[in-house]
Amino acid sequence: MTEDGQDAQDEGRPRHPLTGRAESTIQARLLTRLRDDGPLSRTQLADSLEVSRTTIAVEVGRLGELGLVHEVGPAASRGGRRSTIVDLHPDLVFVGISIGATGMTVGLTDGRLAVRAQRSCASDVREGPEGVLECAVALARELLAEIGVERPVGAGIGVPGPVDFDRGISVSPPIMPGWDGYPVRDVVSRALGCPALLDNDVNVLAAGELHAGVARSSRDFLFVKIGTGIGCGLVVDGRVYRGVDGCAGDIGHIRVEETGPTCACGNAGCLEAFAGGAAVARDATTAARSGRSPGLATLLAERGVLTAADVGQAATHGDAVALELVRESGRRVGQVLASLVSFVNPGLIVIGGGLTGVGHSLLAEIRSVTYRRSLPLATGNLPIVLSELGDEGGVIGAARLISSSVYAAG
């Protein structure tokens, strides 16, 4: 709507997903400001959004009627008439659903994305979307009942595979048979009675880092997830950048060699087929069977199968072969990151995902190669750090993405 109430001019404008009314960038900016900066006085809101106090009063009134904001008392006097402090409404709750290959975490956040309740459980994406999403929705409902909120204002969902962001569906996910084309977003939206949004796990984690992680003060950074596979979230000017088809950040399938082991995607030579967690486990198993590493052979005999975490453990205990496998992964990832650093000149790189459990050997190798191969100007002040967020990273990230959409700033 226009700020002076000429609603007749609204026709043709996009509708706000929550209110059904024409989108107002002023409302969106106001809500986002309260989300990121906390309670502000009407005067501060008018100043920072560069609109009149009258406009702020009108918009705060409207958002109040919608139950999105409320007034919490008078501001400290700056001389003259006192302003009023505005905050997001305490009943405003987002659901964040973070689905991994073998487990999920579901959480609730308030309007400023602080986690109010969270629960994790085991689940296997290979069993298909119906069961997994039923479980996620059941967890969300339990948590909502516990805090006494009937209906969340939005739900964000992250899944470990490619996503058609605009349509809210999974697309040919290699490790998620049965999910291809499944309307994840709409199923969750219907079940919880609120708008929902689906993204891949790496973008969700990048959004989590942006809001509550080591990247909180950074507006331009890369989040690199090294798990079973490898992916990258690209944050540009404070927003997750998805590219024109929504598949930006798919660095796991950058071809680093002309030939090589076959990747989960069907091609050969992909980064993740050399350096992902599955590749490290595969090479460790080969080394154990060939007798090159007695340590890995013992682990394999004990457990029947080796994981990347086992390799990390062996490396930590001084197994030379395991250590070399970790370093080789870091070297490959660093080579690709060096190119990306020359290309986008980020301010920070955050490394996350399961393989980071192997500790600082991986990080040290990534740092060494990335710094050595990038231009000095781009790496002069480029921290490369491990993520410090646990399971709540996915919850906060998913909540952040849906909040931006609900607040219409996304």
The verdict on 52 binding a second copy (CB under 8 A) reads yes
115-122 sheet: strands from edge to edge: 115-122, 103-110, 93-99, 154-159, 196-200
Provide the minimum distance between the beta carbon of 229 and a second copy in the complex, in angstroms, as a whole number: 13
- Residue 7 makes contact with a second copy by CB under 8 A: no
| Residue in 77, 81, 217, 244 binding a second copy, rule: CB under 8 A | 244
Near a second copy by CB under 8 A: residue from 86, 93, 188, 234: 234
Q: What is the DSSP letter of 381?
A: T
Query: Considering the rule CB under 8 A, would residue 246 count as an interface residue with a second copy?
Result: yes
Report how far apart, in Å, the C-alpha atoms of 112 and of each of 281, 366, 398, 407 are.
40, 34, 13, 12
For residue 25, the minimal CB distance to a second copy (Å) is: 6
Candidates 42-50, 61-69, 97-105, 176-184; binding stretch for a second copy (CB under 8 A) = 42-50
Write down the least CB distance from residue 219 to a second copy, Å: 8
Residues in the chain: 410
Going by C-alpha positions, the residue among 349, 400, 404, 410 that lies closest to residue 378 is 349
Beta bridge partners of 26: none
Q: How far is the CB of 325 from a second copy (least distance, A)?
A: 21
Q: Is 9 in the site for a second copy (CB under 8 A)?
A: yes
Site for a second copy contains 14 (CB under 8 A): no
Instruction: Number of residues interacting with a second copy: please give it, by CB under 8 A.
Output: 54
Beta strands (DSSP E) in 151-270 are 154-159, 163-164, 169-170, 196-200, 221-226, 230-236, 239-241
Site string for a second copy, 167-186 (x = CB under 8 A): ----x---------------
> Is 328 among the residues that bind a second copy (CB under 8 A)?
no
φ/ψ of 383, rounded to 5, equals -65, 140
Q: Per rule CB under 8 A, is residue 37 in the interface with a second copy?
A: no
Contacts of 391 (CB under 8 A, 6+ apart): 98, 105, 118, 120
The answer to whether the CB of 187 falls within 8 A of the CB of 129 is yes
Inter-axis angle of helices 294-303 and 308-316, nearest 10: 140
Binding of residue 79 to a second copy (CB under 8 A): no
46 binds a second copy (CB under 8 A): yes
Those residues with Cβ within 8 angstroms of residue 98's Cβ, 6 or more apart along the chain or in another chain: 104, 105, 106, 107, 158, 201, 204, 391, 393, 394, 395, 397, 398
Binding of residue 378 to a second copy (CB under 8 A): yes
Does position 262 bind a second copy by CB under 8 A? no
In terms of CB distance, is 272 or 310 closer to a second copy? 272
Chain residues binding a second copy by CB under 8 A are: 2-4, 6, 9, 24-26, 46-47, 50-54, 162, 171, 220, 232, 234, 236-237, 241-251, 253-255, 265, 335-336, 338-340, 342-347, 373, 375, 377-378, 380-381
